[in-house]
Amino acid sequence: MPADLGLTTWNWVSPLTDDALPDVLRRIREVGYDRAELPFETLAGFRPEYAREVLEELGLGATTVGAITDDRDLLSDNPAISENGRAFLIGAVDAAAALGSPTMSGPIYSAVGRCWLQSADERKRDIATLVERLAPIAEHAANQGVVLGLEPLNRFETSFINLVEQALEVIDHIDSPGLGLLLDSFHMNIEEKSIGDAIRMAGRHVVHFHACENDRGTPGSGHVPWGEVAQALRDIDYTGPIVIETFNPRIETIARAVSAWRDFAPSPESLASEGYAFLRSTFG
């Protein structure tokens, strides 16, 4: 069975709007991808029902990710902020369902870029808080036919969940069909001792995979051990989406958010086409 390959719309635009949708999705389909990944930066950037119409016209599937900002931090001590995070994730799940996306993924626990030093007791407290606040959202996702993909990030983007092992602690506590793992080879390349072993540890919990080079550029152009990644995904019988997540450094808000200070490829088009060719040859 051929791999289910996708590409983020962030390769070209941010935020994604109704006006930008047809052109960007057409570009993704023309390269040969099976899916487009549509980010929810807000819940008002584009209309999910319209996006689904365009996707179906082009014969594309969808995946979705959520941008978790300072005002959407589920772990915040400020009730207004944590409630805003809950409302955003519920809305993103509903939008994912409307799009036909099987998952809604991201660092669905704390704002990207928020790092804080924890004692063992403080970490235990924060995990308990996350479990309490995330469990009802996972239940809602399951009822909508969507799975949340919890994503470990590298140490420069969070101090809370950097490793598969840490993410599994949360998943085991919640124990819901509405919660799994998004693994990203960019982050794993920084944090895991062995990417292959980490994927095998995650096992059946992997619901989404970001195939990203070590510099977030074109897969195959850097030093991510792609043979090891592909074998590990085969070992766990993963058949879900494999999506390139990259960012256009010419979009100032994205560049600052992910520290994208230079072009990752000669053009977004070359990243899309060369990345597709590499992933197709690597994953089948």
**Amino acid symbol at 11:** N
CB 167 within 8 A of CB 150: yes
How would residue 6 be classed by pLDDT, with cut points 50, 70 and 90? very high
Overall average pLDDT of the 89-117 stretch:
95
Overall average pLDDT of the 231-236 stretch:
98
Q: Map out the domains of the chain as residue ranges.
A: 4-283
Q: Give yes or no for residue 140 having a pLDDT over 70.
A: yes
Give the integer Cα–Cα distance in Å for 177 and 159: 26
Q: What is the mean pLDDT of the chain?
A: 95
pLDDT in tens, 174-227: 999 999 999 999 999 999 999 999 999 999 999 999 999 999 999 999 999 999
Give the integer Cα–Cα distance in Å for 101 and 65: 10
Active site residue 245: yes
Partners of 183 in the beta sheet?
A: 209
- CATH class for domain 4-283? alpha beta
Active site residue 165: no
Partners of 38 in the beta sheet?
A: 64
Residue 257: per-residue pLDDT:
75
How would residue 158 be classed by pLDDT, with cut points 50, 70 and 90? very high
Q: Which of 41, 157, 213, 245 is catalytic?
A: 245
Burial (0-12, 13-18, 19+ Cβ within 10 Å), 148 = buried
Overall average pLDDT of the 33-52 stretch:
96
CB 75 within 8 A of CB 161: no
Q: Give yes or no for residue 254 having a pLDDT over 80.
A: no
CB 74 within 8 A of CB 109: yes
Q: Which of 151, 157, 192, 213 is catalytic?
A: 151
**Sign, CA torsion 128/132/133/136:** positive
- Provide the terminal-to-terminal Cα distance of the chain, rounded to the nearest Å: 8
Residue 1: per-residue pLDDT:
57
pLDDT in tens, 60-101: 999 999 989 999 999 999 999 999 999 999 999 999 999 999
